[in-house]
Amino acid sequence: MRLLISVASADEARAAIAGGAEIIDAKDPTRGAMAAVEPATLRAIMLAADGERPVSAALGDALSPADAERGARAAAAERVAYVKVGFAGVADASLVERTLAATVRGVEAVSMSAGVIAVAYADAERAGAIAPDRLIESAERAGAVGVLLDTAFKEGGGLFRIMSEAAVAVWVQAARDAALVVALAGGLGMTDLGAARAVGADIAGVRGAACDGGRTGRVSAERVAWLAMSAGRRSGPHRPILAHRSDIVTSSATPR
């Protein structure tokens, strides 16, 4: 399982890399679960990563198809590996699918390698979002490479407090059956990383537990190092980004 650390600045990206993060995720935690950073900040994060780690970029929630396509195109032009789009406030599966398809078009217009991650929320009812199982169906049809199960409201308890480990495992298996990369996030701490690994997640995303001062604090290299050990990271060369779950399965013999 690969450890993703969400960062809001180039300094945080450097701290995350120093601590052993395998994927750097650019987002603004002060503006919500899936808020995009400013374009200049994304460029600075990309420079800080300097090709050492793949970078994902959050685009936002409840974007129109046109806005999602523009945002995806701009982010992909910065050579990110993934773009993520969320659906807080959007429960219509047909609109979700159209938005994801537009996001895929935006990425493919400028990149041969970047992929789209569709974001589901465990607290979907509270967020007015599409149900997590229906999100998988829309992501598969629209051509996304992966799905993320997160929490929209960060004060409401973490992922494994909102959904049982058994329920998350069922969701992960459904995404695997659709040949999608599977990521989990949402208030994950060191003890939660074992559960994320146990249910078969390919990627675990962390923000709050990686920071001094909580989610809106600053990423600490020392905290990231402890999380990396909990995620099962072993020493060795960094593996390249895997754009499709079948690649992960094929590479499963490689130490993580």
The residue annotated as part of the active site, out of 2, 27, 73, 223, is 27
Contacts of 1 (CB under 8 A, 6+ apart): 193, 196, 197, 201, 202, 203, 204, 231, 232, 256
State the Cα–Cα distance between residues 146 and 202, nearest whole angstrom: 10
Integer Rg of the chain from CA:
16
The residue annotated as part of the active site, out of 84, 207, 223, 245, is 84
State the Cα–Cα distance between residues 106 and 129, nearest whole angstrom: 23
Residue 60 corresponds to which amino acid? Answer: G
Pick from 235, 227, 185: which is nearest to 209 by CA? 227
Question: Catalytic: 154?
Answer: no
* Burial zone of 51 (CB within 10 Å; 0-12 exposed, 13-18 middle, 19+ buried): exposed
Q: Which residue has the tokens 């399965």?
A: 249
**Residues in a beta bridge with 128:** none
Residues with a known catalytic role: 27, 84
